[in-house]
Amino acid sequence: MLSSKSGMRGLWFIMPAVVTLLLLITYPLIYGAYISFFDTNLITKWNFVGLKHYVNIFSNTEFVERILLTLHYTFWVVVGHFVIGTGLALILNMKLKGITVFRVILILPWLFPEVVVGLLWKWLFNPLYGLFNAVLMKVGLIDDPVSWLGDEKTAFAAVIVVSIWKGFPMVMMLLLAGLQSIPEDIYEAARIDGCTRSAAFRYVTLPALMPVMVVTLILDTVWWFKHFTMIWILTQGGPGNATNVVSIDIFKQAFEFFNFGKASAMAILVFFVCWLMGYGYRRLFGNGDD
Amino acid sequence: METTKRKFSIFNMGMYAILIVASCLVLIPALWMVSTSLKSNEEVMISPPKWIPDHPTFESFTRIWKDYPFLDYFLNSVFIVVASTAITIAFAALAGYGASRFKFRGKGTFLSFLLVTQMFPSIMLLIPFYKVLKTFGLIDTHWGLIVVYIAFALPMCTWMMLGFFQGIPKELDEAAMIDGCSQMRTFVQIILPLSLPGIAATAIYSFLMGWNEYMFAFILVTTETMKTLPVGIGQLNGFYRVVWNDMMAASIISSLPLIVLFLFMQKYFISSLTAGAVKQ
């Protein structure tokens, strides 16, 4: 390090960020935890109820069902992101001709605002005038128009497809960046040692990519576990409870039913689920150097 | 030799085939958006739909500015996002530099905290923010949302800047300081100019985050003329008759700034993403 008494100066540099985060994240979080112990409309009514909301949440299976539904959703979305994202990142890293064009095209979904993606797919899925039904009917896969977002059986799958479409570029970019940071000479050394293409992938690429993959996996999982906007635009959690993931549920609890206390309690529980998932991944992949 | 070469080119063709299929899956919805936006009200409601409208028209693109307060939405978004990005970048650069160059107590805690913030469901912040902003009369103001977007973007941006600064050799700082530069001057005059690509990438991230954010803007702003683009476009969805062509035109206009911004800066973006993600 630069000098022995540089410690204090380091603190000065991070001070603005620390103060901002304390004021804008830590304080609201503590305040949110505080609200979760009250039965409140945030203005006039402040009745302390202790752990009542938490007991209430666990007194029936509703909340657990939401969490399971959200996990189910997150699982398929993340699997989709990784299968497509990893595949495309590997290809984009191959230095084929004209690759930049593909790279720009494939990043597009990430650049569209979530609201736009939600509306666009709602339009594509439109039962009467949507492109999706028109194509499927022309090909002969379906005979009559299907209301993809209006049917409990298909809405869940439809929401997953849209989420994969929107989110794979981020995984692709993170992994591509990871691939590009692997030095060329390692591959050269492997080739000289008689490594085949697939062996080089197995023994050079994969281990070198592992740290990026773990971080990407953690971030992608928690990001999509908490996802709200596109599902809100597409189905508002319906039909029935088919796409009622936990973010939507909390949002309705707070701003439709004005149960701010219960909503806060649910949000705190969701944080623990996210934290557990992050912890689990780290244990699983042995990335314990944090 | 001949056969391996042939096998190789077949392999390459397979790769191109995958890229083309994937690109089509991305482009078809995007082009459908363009196609819809160029249709008249009557032509949108034709089944089966046509790819190329019979009478292409720009009336949706003129209508969104006339019939809806779209200009207000647009200007609100620009102001809020530019202000929050500027402040975020300033704080993130300072913090990233500090964390990359110094050892101090609590540094590990600080860095893990940045990652832990990603685990909070943002709705967990929405309720307290709603209450606090209400108390301070910041509901329906630009500053309310600016503050929120700083809070959202700062952790990831600090992380990205940290990764970037770690890639700049410390010897540079030392050389500058031996020549009599103060720490702050070294940072501003030597290191910052070298970090422009990293700053560009971080700015894109912050800009995107603010430009796209929907939930907070939806709750924290209620006056029509103070709304941001995502909320403004999103509520076209709620009217009893959905005007798809206007909605798609509005969607295109609101996506364009991001696409243009990205095309100019994409070179920097991918390499800087790594920096933050890899060298944690």
3-class SS letters over A272-290? HHHHHHHHHHHHHCCCCCC
Mean of pLDDT over chain B: 85
Residue A211 CB coordination number (10 Å):
17
H or E element at residue B78: helix B70-101
B207 Cβ neighbours under 8 A, 6+ residues apart: B81, B85, B258, B261
Which residues of chain B are within 8 Å of residue A124 when distances are taken between CB atoms? Answer: 29, 32
Q: What gap in Å lies between CA A259 and CA A242, rounded to an integer? A: 22
**pLDDT value for B149:** 93
pLDDT-based confidence at residue B3 (cuts at 50, 70, 90): low
**pLDDT value for A289:** 44
- Partner B contacted by A19 (CB < 8 A): no
Which residues of chain B are within 8 Å of residue A111 when distances are taken between CB atoms? Answer: 208, 255, 258-259, 262
Residue A99 Cα distances to A106, B7, B9, B17, B119, angstroms: 11, 20, 16, 13, 35
A267/B127 CB distance under 8 A: yes
- Partner B contacted by A124 (CB < 8 A): yes
Shortest distance between the Cα of A79 and any Cα of chain B, in A, equals 17
A130/B107 CB distance under 8 A: no
A264/B269 CB distance under 8 A: no
**pLDDT value for A59:** 87
A135, B51 Cβ separation under 8 angstroms: no
**pLDDT value for A290:** 41
B25, A165 Cβ separation under 8 angstroms: yes
- Partner B contacted by A170 (CB < 8 A): no
Identify the closest residue of chain A to B17 by CA–CA distance.
Answer: A91
Convert B122-134 to b/e letters by CB count within 10 Å (16 or more is b).
bbbbbbbbbbbbe
- Partner B contacted by A139 (CB < 8 A): no
Q: What is the mean pLDDT of residues B136-144?
A: 87
Q: What gap in Å lies between CA A40 and CA A47, rounded to an integer? A: 6
Which residues of chain A are within 8 Å of residue B122 when distances are taken between CB atoms? Answer: 226, 228
> Does pLDDT of B278 surpass 60?
no
Q: Which of residues 45-74 of A touch B (CB under 8 A)?
A: none
> Does pLDDT of B272 surpass 70?
no
A86, A212 Cβ separation under 8 angstroms: no
> Does pLDDT of B172 surpass 90?
no
By Cβ distance, the residue of A14, A102, A128 closest to B99 is A14
By Cβ distance, the residue of A119, A216, A222 closest to B118 is A222
How many beta-carbon pairs under 8 angstroms link A with B?
Answer: 296
Measured CA angle at B129 (ends A67, B157), to 5 deg: 80
B253, B61 Cβ separation under 8 angstroms: yes
**pLDDT value for B277:** 45
By Cβ distance, the residue of B16, B120, B214 closest to A271 is B120
Please tell me whether residue B50 adopts helix, strand or coil conformation: coil
Task: Pick from B38-47, B110-119, B214-223 the range whose average pLDDT is largest.
Answer: B214-223
**pLDDT value for B239:** 59
**pLDDT value for B125:** 87
Global pTM?
0.87
pLDDT by residue (tens digit) across B80-118? 999 999 999 999 999 998 888 888 888 888 888 888 887
**Domains of chain B by range and CATH?**
60-278 (1.10.3720.10)
- Partner B contacted by A276 (CB < 8 A): no
**pLDDT value for A168:** 95
Residue A208 Cα distances to A181, B157, B163, angstroms: 9, 24, 17
Q: What gap in Å lies between CA A220 and CA B96, rounded to an integer? A: 23
B12/A96 CB distance under 8 A: yes
**pLDDT value for A3:** 46
For B147, half-sphere exposure in the C-beta direction (CA atoms, 13 angstrom radius) is 22
Please tell me whether residue A39 adopts helix, strand or coil conformation: strand
Which residues of chain B are within 8 Å of residue A138 when distances are taken between CB atoms? Answer: 48
Identify the closest residue of chain B to A87 by CA–CA distance.
Answer: B18
Cis link prior to A239 (omega < 30° from 0)?
yes
In the predicted model, residues of chain A with pLDDT beneath 70 are: 1-7, 286-290
Is this complex scored with an ipTM above 0.90?
Answer: no
Structure tokens at B280: 């944690």
Helix%, strand%, coil% for chain B, nearest 5? 80, 0, 20
Phi and psi torsions of B157, nearest 5° = -65, -40
Phi and psi torsions of B102, nearest 5° = -125, 155
**pLDDT value for A178:** 84
pLDDT-based confidence at residue B22 (cuts at 50, 70, 90): very high
Q: Which runs of consecutive H residues, i.e. helices, occur in B102-228?
A: 107-116, 122-135, 142-166, 170-178, 183-185, 192-194, 196-212, 215-220
Cis link prior to B48 (omega < 30° from 0)?
yes
**pLDDT value for B240:** 63
**Domains of chain A by range and CATH?**
41-284 (1.10.3720.10)
